[in-house]
Amino acid sequence: MKRVIFLFALLLCNILPENINANNDTEPPIGSISGTVVDQALNQPVAYAAIVVKSEDGTETITGGITTEEGTFEIKKLPEGNFILEVQFIGYKTVTLSNVLVTAGKEVFLDIKLEESVEALKEVVITADDDK
């Protein structure tokens, strides 16, 4: 009887680890996007620019982040697939990158250059009346 219990326990120990590993394989594969954002004219880092990752059709925001003081960013734990990446900062034109392909275990690196957005404002005239 002891021999049967021992063989059953040995068989159970060999089966359980395979089942545990099989359950871990169901997690979706993940990748990441990182890069730098610089001013196109000055080639200087753009600190605190907004990074937005959207679904391939642009209808859903997946995640986002901001650049560091050095103009770098990293968006981790993205599922595999194609995404739209938007980079925005006040005083610059928004950069939209389509078809950014993320694959499992890989890091997509992007160098992004922002162009200044110059907008001429209309003249402001201030008048005052001296009513005493």
Give, in degrees to the nearest 5, the angle at Cα 118 between 113 and 120: 175
pLDDT tens digits, residue range 115-131? 999 877 888 888 888 77
Between 25 and 19, the more confident residue is 25
- Structure tokens that stand for 125 in this block: 């005239």
pLDDT tens-place string over residues 63-102: 999 999 999 999 999 999 999 999 999 999 999 999 999 9
The H or E element spanning position 79 is: strand 72-79
Structure-token match 């993940």, residue found: 30
Average predicted confidence (pLDDT) for the chain: 83
pLDDT given for residue 85 in this prediction: 96
Q: What's the distance, Cα to Cα, between the start and end of the chain in Å?
A: 114
pLDDT of res. 18: 44
Contact 80, 104 (CB under 8 A): yes
Backbone phi and psi for residue 75, each to the nearest 5 degrees, phi listed first: -115, 115
pLDDT of residue 25: 56
- pLDDT for 27 beyond 70: no
Going by C-alpha positions, the residue among 4, 95, 108 that lies closest to residue 51 is 95
Taking the C-alpha atoms of residue 4 and residue 48, their distance in angstroms, rounded to an integer, is 67
